[in-house]
A and B are shown apart, each in its own frame.
Chain A
Amino acid sequence: MTEMLKKNTRTSITVQLKQGKEIKHNFSLDIDTHLSDPGVVGIFGESGSGKTTFLRSFAGLLKLPSAVISFNDEVWQNDQIFVPTHKRSIGYVFQEDGLLPHLTVQQNLDYAVRRKRKVSMEGLYKKVVSILNIESLLSALPDQLSGGERQRVSIARSLLQQPRILLMDEPLASLDEKRKREILPYLERVSKQFVIPILYVSHSVEEIARLADYVLVFKQGRIVEEGSPNSVFAKENPFIGLSDEVGVVLDGVISAWDEIWELSTVSTDCGDLLIPKAGTVVGTTIRVRILAKDVSLMETPESKSSILNQLSADVLELSRDQNTAMSLVNLRVKSAHLVARISRKSIDQLKIAPGKSLWVQIKAAAVLN
Chain B
Amino acid sequence: AVASNFGMPMKQIVAEFEKRTGNIVNLSLGSSGRFVAQIVNGAPFSAFFSADQSNPQALENAGLVIDGTRFTYAIGRLVLWSSKIHFIDGNGEKLVRGDYATLAFANPRVAPYGIAAEEVLKRLNVTKGTNHVWVNGENVAQTYQFISTKNVDLGFVSLSQIISDGEVKNGSSWLVPQSLYKPILQDAVILKRSEDIETTRQLMLFMKSGYVRNKIEEYGYFKP
A and B directly contacting (CB within 8 A): no
- Chain A residues packing against B (C-beta within 8 Å): none
